[in-house]
Amino acid sequence: IPNTLENRPFTVVVEGNMGCGKTTFLERFKGKSNICVLSEPVENWRNVNGHNLLHLMYENPETWSFTFQSYVQLTMLQNHLLPTTCAVKIMERSIYSARYCFVEKLTRDGVLPLPSAAVMDSWFKWILQQNFVQVDLLIYLRSSPEVAYERILKRKRPEENMVSLDYVKYLHEIHENWLYFKTLFTCPAPILVLNADQSTLDVHAEYEKWKPDFFRKTLNN
Ligand SMILES: Cc1cc2cn([C@H]3C[C@H](O)[C@@H](CO)O3)c(=O)nc2[nH]1
């Protein structure tokens, strides 16, 4: 069956650095009857048969990155494929940022050994070839690393207590090259860039301003 909008929801993916405000941005859509909101499955990652893979990954990335990122890829695919009767599905991150941002960074850092990166990439490429995953709009919450880092410090996620500003800056560059300069990897859908350094209200005001164009443009294709 072709993966057309007739038999699947209009899928929006919200991407951005750690601390850019994705979770807060998605709060606005929760409770709307016709929108299925899928937050990043961090709680899943914290308890896989009793194992906190997120903690293990931060504590010893050389040993646990492959395990963690393999599970992230599975949970992202599950979100992409989750059936819904809603007209719109909005997801926090995607199988794309898993591969293009996080796995890419770990591979470049030499933290993820090349044989492991090759296996991750084989899974990723096969999944895309199955045409399981369709994204219709990508919202890039574009933040400066300094603002993002301040928010990470404030929210105090236990596993992130060792995250450095350098790590956040590096992830920022990868997001910029992918979603703003578009020099890194292909973009799976049209991109709406929002200035995420603003207050939550202003980010939503900017989204509301651009929404009609983007939904009309993408729905009419
Ligand atoms: C898709 C994807 C999300 C994601 C998050 N993370 C980390 C960054 C944050 O500390 C936490 C929640 O986003 O998980 C990661 O290492 N690899 C990831 N891949």
pTM: 0.94
What confidence tier does 218 reach under pLDDT thresholds 50, 70, 90?
low
Alpha carbons 103 and 98: distance in angstroms, whole number: 6
Query: What's the confidence (pLDDT) of residue 124?
Result: 98
As a whole number, the mean pLDDT across the chain is: 93
User: Would you say residue 196 has pLDDT above 80?
Assistant: yes
Type of residue found at 81: L
User: Would you say residue 156 has pLDDT above 80?
Assistant: yes
- Mean pLDDT computed over 114-137: 96
Taking CA atoms only, the protein residue closest to ligand 1 atom 17 is: 102
Alpha carbons 151 and 147: distance in angstroms, whole number: 6
Taking CA atoms only, the protein residue closest to ligand 1 atom 4 is: 98
Taking CA atoms only, the protein residue closest to ligand 1 atom 12 is: 42
Contact (Cβ atoms closer than 8 angstroms) between residue 15 and residue 179: yes
Residues with CB under 6 A from ligand 1: 18, 40, 42, 54, 72, 76, 93, 97-98, 102, 160
User: Would you say residue 2 has pLDDT above 70?
Assistant: no
Active site residue 92: yes
- Catalytic-labelled residue, pool 92, 104, 159, 176: 92
Alpha carbons 106 and 72: distance in angstroms, whole number: 14
For residue 76, which phi and psi values (nearest 5 degrees)?
-70, -40
DSSP-based three-state secondary structure for 92: strand
Q: Which of these, 80, 94, 89, lies nearest to 37 by C-alpha position?
A: 89
C-alpha 217 – ligand 1 centre gap (Å) = 31
Point out the ligand 1 atom lying closest to the alpha carbon of residue 98: 1
- Mean pLDDT computed over 2-7: 73
Point out the ligand 1 atom lying closest to the alpha carbon of residue 157: 10
Give, in order, the Cα–Cα distances in Å from 200 to each of 191, 194, 204, 207. Answer: 19, 11, 6, 11
Q: How many CA atoms lie within 13 A of 131 on its CB side?
A: 5
Tens of pLDDT, residue by residue over 23-80, are: 999 999 998 989 999 999 999 999 999 999 999 999 999 999 999 999 999 999 999 9
User: Would you say residue 220 has pLDDT above 70?
Assistant: no
